[in-house]
Structures are given as C-alpha cells and as structure tokens.
Structure 1
Amino acid sequence: MKCDYIDELALEWEKKREKDEKYLYDNRIPIHDQERRKGLSKDHPFVKNHLFKEPIKILNEIVSKHRKEVGSDITDKEDLEQQKKKFDILHQELKNYENLNGKKLPFGKWLVFPRALKIKEGDVSSFRVYTNLSDVELKDEVEIKFPDKYKSFIQPKNLKSKFKVNPLREEQCFATFEIEGIKECDYFDLNIMYKNNLKTQLQVSVYIEKNREFKIPIEFERENYFVKENSNRRIILYAKYRDFIDEKNIKLNVSNSNQKAISAPSTVNLKHVDGTNYLRGEIKIRGIKLQDSSTISVSHDPYTASTNVTVRKDKEEQGTEYKPKYVTHFLGKNIRAAWSPKEENILEITTDHSLVRHYLGSKEPINGKFPSFKTPQWKMFFNDILAHAFAEKMVTMNCAQKPETYETLAAINKSDIKETMAVANKFYSNEFNKFMTLLHSEKVN
C-alpha cells in the first residue's frame, strides 16, 4: 500500500516542531515512530480513522471473488459428537477469558482480571484492571468503591491505584489492587471507578476452611447435580476425618448406576483439608444421554454417600463456545487452520492444505462426512491442529487480558533476538503441550 499523504503529514508535523508552533488537532502527534523502528503510530487520527478503510474495502471485494465459503457440512452425528468432545475439553481452559483474540481492547472497554476474587480469610489477593491508554490520562488514578456494609468483610490495601503502561502492550495500561479477606461473606460487587464514573465491576467473596456438619460421615456436597449433555463437571465428596476415616489420604471406589447416562471414574481420591474435620475429593463426570440420570455412590463401611445426577440441555455454559468450520479456500502458506477474523470462536480448517485434504480423504464432505474422518491418522492430525490453534489463542489472550503471565519478556534485552525468541517459544510450547496432553488424556481418540 502506498499513501503519499503520510509524507505530507510527517513533513507538516516536523515543520511545526522546528518552529515551535501549535500542532493541528488531526496531526498532533508524529504519524510514524521518529526512530523508524516501530512504523506508523496507531493512535494518529489519520491512521486510526482513515488510512485502512479504503484498502480493506478493496481487499474484501477481491477476496470475495476468489473465496468460496464452505461451511461445516458434516452431518454425520457420530463425527459431530467426536469433534465436539475435543472442543469441549479445550473450551474449559479458555472459558474465563473474553474472546478478543489478543487484540487491542475495543474503545472504551475496561477489563478486570480475574473476573471474580475468592479470598481465603486472612489472605491477600490481587487483581488488575486493564483499559486502553488512549481512553485515560496516565497520571490519573482508578478507584474502587463498595457499600459500607461490606467493610467489615474485606480490607483493601489500596483504594486508589495509578495506571502503568503494560510492558508487553504499549497501547494498554493497567492498575493493580490488593484486598485482604477479613470475614467470611458471599459474593458482592466491587465497583471500579474512573473520574467518578463506573467502568466495570468485580465480584468478591471471602471464605474460610471450617469444620463441616455431617448428616452422615460420608456425603456429597449436594443431593442432586445437573450436567449438560456432552459436557463435564466436578462433584464434591466429603468424609469425616478422625471419627470415621483416620487416614489423611484414601482412595475409594465409585459406583455409577447408569453408565449410559453419565460417565464417571471408578475411584476417587480424598485428602484431608488442614485445620478441618473432613477429607475432600472431586469426581469428574460427563453427561452422555439427554434427560437421563444416574446415581453416583461412594462407600466406606458401614456408610454410603449417594447423589443423583441428571443430564439436561439447558444448563448454562460459561464462556465462548468454540467450533470448527471446514473451508476450501487458501488460508496462507503452510497454514492448516486459522481463527476466523470475523467470528473469533470459529476455527477454520482448510482442505486447500494438501495434508488436511489427504488425511480427511476429500476436499469436501461426501454425503455429510469426510471419508477418513474416523481413521487414527486423522484423529492424531486433528489433535495436533487443535493443540496448535488453542495454544496460539491462549497466548494471545494472555497478552491482552493477563499480560503479567509474560512479564519476564519485558526484562530481556530486545536486541538479543535469540533469547527473546527462546523465552517466547517456551511460553507457547508449554501451552501446546498442555492442550495436547488434555486431548490425549481424555477418551476422545
């Protein structure tokens, strides 16, 4: 792209700088980095509001002529369930993130991370508030406010906090707060204020590890649970310590009355929670058959704990639902899959790539299915595609919403390319290995 007006704006700004004259409002900052290292200034009015509009329009017209949009035409129920299982597993890792694909926060957007704060009584927890640098004055402070009736439950270490520039995203800033849990309480809203205007909220609660009152010496947290079809959840089991079980760690057998409705492990590990009168264990279950139910039981002579689990369709699921879409157009050299720029929860997998086409057995579904979709070769290849794609998304989301994860990068000498790439690649590799392990540890292969 060539634009002569960039030179005109740069020259105009430089002349006013030399003469110490007042800059024009629409050219009040240099349009490009004065050291010629970072390119155009993203916050310059011309770059932000005008430069890319016409080129994008032209490119969209060109692409629309050459791109054949092909949706996921898979209709085979077994194949659809197979890939949904994989996406559901990976979805659990990203459900607490806003799906911004690591991009700059939208104008006026404020983001608090984590979304909710559960503080143990006596402990101190922290959270950060993020927004765009262009939306605030860096010298200003952001403030937290909450009703007086909750002041006996929490003690903020700071009611106000100054903004700092995000070391990894120069267009973004953040403020940090620390809160001490004083007294047990349920969730309430903490207001994030800027210039006396409410910008966002954080839910805060305080909990304590305390003795449990048992109806029987071994029991589930609830008598009834609900789980969504083809989704996972955890159910909690408690056992009385000392009076009933004298060991701090114990493995017990799990009974599942209806394996067609619910899948559950055959054993559960219970561990003693320090300072309490109980052992605690989690059982990971999965809903299989809609509107069906099962009784999950755990026994330790002479008592048995039981809970009823029902599979429902309307259980609300948190976060963005990620889905695959098989397309035939070119996504880039050696690119097998990429997140859609328009629908950021859609992973486009292109059969234009020779290996994807080879392992699926055709360029498009035949009678609602790809010929080789059920083969071990495609399943392994599909896992690799998903692990790479979700690792990329996790890293970009962390950069935008939890940049402190990668703060060690800010301390590296940027001229040392080898070290920078080595550390950055380590972060990505860790995410890839995590997602690959998740995919292979579940019975979805």
Structure 2
Amino acid sequence: MNMKIDPWSALNIDDYSKLFDEFGILPFDEMVREIENPHKFMNRKIIFGHRSYDLITDAMKHNKPFSVMSGFMPSGKIHLGHKMVMEEIIWHQQQGGDAFVGIADREAHSVRGMSWDKCKDIGINEYIISLIALGFEPDGHIYFQSKSEQVKDLAFELGSKANFSELSAIYGFTGETNVAHMLSAVTQSADILHPQLEEYGGPKPTVIPVGADQDPHIRLTRGLGHKMNMFKIEGREDKNGNKYFSIRSKAAPEEALKELNERIPGKTKLFEGHVDIFNADDFELLLKTVREVELEFGGYAFVPPSSTYHRFMSGLQGGKMSSSVPDSYLSLTEDPKGAAKKVKRAKTGGRMTLEEQKKLGGEPDKCSVYEMFLFHLVDDDEELAQIYTECREGSRVCGNCKALAAERTEKFLKEHQELREVAKDRLDEYGLSI
C-alpha cells in the first residue's frame, strides 16, 4: 500500500481504514463510551482515530493532570478546518486540561518563506483572535515558536536524538531539503512535548488534536520522546514462568539505578544497566517512582503524546478544499453575506431533477451542504438525523437545505466577527498585543 502522508501539502484520503492498517492509528469508536460528555465530533465519527487516548480518558475520569496542545501555521486566512481544531482544544480545556496553542511561525518562515512580521500579523489577527472568540480561556498558554525559549531549547535537545534517515523516512526529506525545514519539524516535536516540562507541572498525558495529515509529527515526537527518557520498563518472564518487571537504563547515571533499587519497595535486584522487580503489584506506583527518579537526575520522563484525528471537510464545490479556489472554502473573517452566497452555490448530493429526487432520494453522504450541517451548523443530533432521513427519502429538496445552511452560515459569521472585536480588546489577558 505504502501510503504517504505529507504535513505540508494537500491531502485527500478516500479510505481512512488505510490509516489504521498502515500507520497504527486506532479507531475512536470504543473511546466514546469512556467519555461522560463527548464532543459532537466524537459522537458523529468526525473524530475517527487516536493514539493512546485512553491516557486522556483516564485522566478526565479520575481528575488527574493532563494537557491539550495543538498549533497553527500562520499561512493565510483562518477557515473552518482551523475552527475544528480550536473547538477540540477548547473542549479539552473545559474538561480540565491545561491548554497550549502554538503559532508555528518558524515553520511558516522555513517552509513558506513568510517574513516574521507577516507571521505575527496573521498569527494574531487571523488565528489567535478567532481562538479567543471561540472560547479559549486565559488560563491556557498561547505562544509563538520563535519567542518561546522553552520550545527552542527543547528543540535543540531533541535534535540530538533525530537524524536525517529518520526524518527522511517519516517526511520524505531529500538532499534538497533545507536545514531550517528539518529544524521546523523537530520544533514541532518540542511544541508537543513542552507541556510536560517542569515549569508546567512535569510529565503528564498530553493530547494533540490534528487532521490525519499531521500524523508524521506525532510519530516523530513519540519516537523522540522515547529516546530522550533515561529508562524503559519491560515486562519479563523467568524460566519458571514467573513474571517480573525490569527497569532498564538507556542513558541513566549509575547512581540513578542505585536510587531506584533503594526506593522501590519489595524484592529487587540491581544489575549493571538494569534493576529487576519481582513482586511489584502496583504498576502505577512503579511508573511514578521511575519518573520521579529520572526527574531528580535531570531527565524528562516524557509520557508518549496522545493524539486524535479528524476527518477532512470537502470543498464546497466537491473534491478538495483549496485556498487557491475561494469558492471551495469559508473563512471566518470573510463577509457573512458573501459567504452565504457561496453556500447557495455549493455542490449538493441531490439528483438531477426534482422528480428523481422524490423517487430515488438524495445522497447526503456526497453533499457538501449536509457536511456543513454535520461539522458546524447543526448542534442538535435529532435535527441532523431528520435532515439526513428526509434527504434520503426524497422529501427534502436541495434548495431548502442550501437556504438553511446559508442563513446559519451568515448568522454564525456575524456573531463570530462581533466576538472577534471583543477578543481584540482582551489580548492583554493572554499576554499578547497587536
């Protein structure tokens, strides 16, 4: 199959199951049952996959610390795709997560060649202001990559564990790829891991809500985080079938292993390079002790980052959404009336004639207008189900759906843009200024 995912170019995925088979992304269906008040994207299978999200559901269920982090490359207008990620960040913040949002100006500068001033202008006036308007609270963290000393320092440390072969295998980099572009990829990993630094409370589960095109960053980061840690814990079995744990040093000082041997209760045995534990009943306590010792000896003890993956919206004219085709997407800052007209020109899943529509029914699964309802314009699941059923039965015509979608689009954009004006006056609450 050899499917290739590139975070810097348009991606069209026809079969999301390929991501399960080829990249080890897990279906999200079973996770939903573990969440008390799931986001609508979860119930509607818009969020379709995850990595290690069980760490997040456990943290939410038992009031343990966790973080949510995602970022935005300031490359142009903020659109509905960005809104999806922002809503997922805000939902996790409301569930008790410590929220981080990075503006990837280093990435925009190295990959798109944008000036630093342009990065700041777009980052604040497009992305951050809408993020605040959508409900991001001031107790979260908003930052620019180029201004965060923690991210830059961590990127340097992570760079010592990354090599060209690995970056080439994950991203398809070649000998023509400039070094700044490679550094921006490592900086993304620093973005993802830095919520676990000591100044933010230390190691904790961290979820990254992204589109599937960003999975290469997740895979690189999980690998680098593992390489940075001093220890790994392995489950083993002796020749008699007795199970035990072995804590093995990857780069730990000898004194750290001795400290572990003394601190872990029960029967232990210290060897060169590892400590074996023969009666550890509480794995959580064991893991906590290992992380505490690593931190005391100057390590990071990173928890592998979790991630969720959402489906992409198609363009209003069908096919891919493209910034070079204005009629294919909606910006959160565009004229509401003009946006409503775009929706009225959108491609639907209706039949060629009204007679065929009544006889055969529509095809909402192929309709960009129904997709607008599914993703953004209908919060009530019963109303959404009614629209879907009436379309399939042929009792609902495309003109009615377009009129409703256009009306709600115009209303949402008007309200959002009013909230953006309020958000501009609140930037100082977030430590920012225009």
TM-score range, shorter chain: under 0.3
Identify which of structures 1 and 2 has the higher relative contact order when contacts are C-alpha pairs closer than 8 Å and 6+ apart: 2
- Using the size of structure 2 for normalisation, the TM-score is 0.22
Bigger Cα Rg: 1
Structure with the higher fraction of residues in strand conformation:
1
